[in-house]
Amino acid sequence: MSAGGEDPRGRELAEALDRVRARIAGAARAADATVQPTLIAVTKFFPAADVVRLHRLGVRDVGENRDQEASAKAREVAELVPAPLAWHFVGQLQSNKAKSVVRYASWVHSVDRASLVTALGKAVLRHRDEAAAGQAPAGPCTEQDLTCLVQVSLDAEEHRGGVRPEDAVRLAEQIAATEGLRAGGVMAVAPLGAAAGPAFDRLRVVSEQLRQSLPEAAAISAGMSQDLEEAVARGATHVRVGSDILGPRPPVG
Ligand SMILES: *Cc1c(COP(=O)(O)O)cnc(C)c1O
């Protein structure tokens, strides 16, 4: 295969991507999954040039966790690739960043509180007004509602990243009732120092409860480089993979 051409980094990414795609396909086969999970390549800390390389390799979904980095990268990439990419915001989000995020993101995976739902809804409507008035370029949310996932904490005791499982349905219903937003489903990160499988089982239970009131909110965003097999085995519809595609990230200082 000449997918990488003369570009060594392109070749490296092509090989890593092939390995990850094969792992996902293998896990989906083993689980008798009827749909292939969507692979989101998490490109945080890596340059726009890598996003362009991944796009050439067929990647259409990319994830980022910091607005400042993501908004600049999304602008840069938009000039370089013709077909649109879907940007997935997967990190902790301050409400005052909602305005910026809705300009490039199609999905926010990390919705964890009512005030953020309100801020995102307002930001989408305002962006639509500004785009209609020619004051801002159109973005994904001018065409479609912003897909929001409820981030669920799977920690046994402390609930840092995300809502408690018992609070997830209420937050999703608030999303569904907010103009400009679409309730897409649930997201989680496996707890540190505990087995991922049982945690993802708990996420699946939350997803089932959620679908009783919101059947279309069926996305389950779970699984990263280390635990994507466990997530796919438990019904993940979206896996978020960074380091096993792009390589190790620089240590955060
Ligand atoms: C960085 C990140 C990922 C990707 O993690 P890897 O271990 O590099 O695959 C997935 N999800 C979230 C929320 C992240 O911040």
DSSP 223-250: --TTTHHHHHHTT-SEEEE-HHHH-PPP
Q: How many CB atoms lie within 10 A of CB 58?
A: 11
Contacts of residue 110, Cβ cutoff 8 Å, sequence gap at least 6: 89, 90, 91, 92, 93, 149, 151, 161, 162, 187
Only one residue has tokens 């879907």, namely 86
Query: Residue 1 has what pLDDT?
Result: 42
Domains, the chain, in order of start with CATH, read 8-244 (3.20.20.10)
Q: Is the CB of 102 under 6 A from ligand 1?
A: no
Q: Is the CB of 140 under 6 A from ligand 1?
A: no
Only one residue has tokens 């009732």, namely 177
**What distance in Å separates the CA atoms of residue 227 and residue 244, rounded to the nearest whole number?**
11
**What distance in Å separates the CA atoms of residue 236 and residue 151, rounded to the nearest whole number?**
14
Query: Residue 155 has what pLDDT?
Result: 87
**What distance in Å separates the CA atoms of residue 26 and residue 17, rounded to the nearest whole number?**
14
Q: How far is the CA of 220 from the centre of ligand 1 (A)?
A: 15
**Of all protein residues, whose CA lies closest to atom 12 belonging to ligand 1?**
90
Secondary structure class of 140 (helix, strand, coil): helix
Secondary structure class of 146 (helix, strand, coil): strand
Query: Residue 252 has what pLDDT?
Result: 60
Query: Residue 126 has what pLDDT?
Result: 98
Q: How far is the CA of 11 from the centre of ligand 1 (A)?
A: 22
Strands 238-241 vs 61-64: parallel, antiparallel or unpaired: unpaired
Q: How far is the CA of 249 from the centre of ligand 1 (A)?
A: 10
Nearest to 67 by CA among 123, 118, 137: 123
Q: Is the CB of 189 under 6 A from ligand 1?
A: yes
Q: Tens digit of pLDDT per residue, the chain (253 long)?
A: 445 458 999 999 999 999 999 999 999 999 998 889 999 999 999 999 999 999 999 999 999 999 999 999 999 999 999 878 999 999 999 999 999 999 999 999 999 999 999 999 999 999 999 999 999 999 999 989 999 999 999 987 776 789 999 999 999 999 999 999 999 999 999 998 889 999 999 999 999 999 999 999 999 999 999 999 999 999 999 999 999 999 998 776 4
Distances from the Cα of 252 to the Cα of 78, 86, 173, angstroms: 27, 26, 36
Q: How far is the CA of 208 from the centre of ligand 1 (A)?
A: 24
Q: Is the CB of 55 under 6 A from ligand 1?
A: no
Atom of ligand 1 nearest to the CA of 241: 9
**Of all protein residues, whose CA lies closest to atom 7 belonging to ligand 1?**
225
Q: How far is the CA of 240 from the centre of ligand 1 (A)?
A: 6
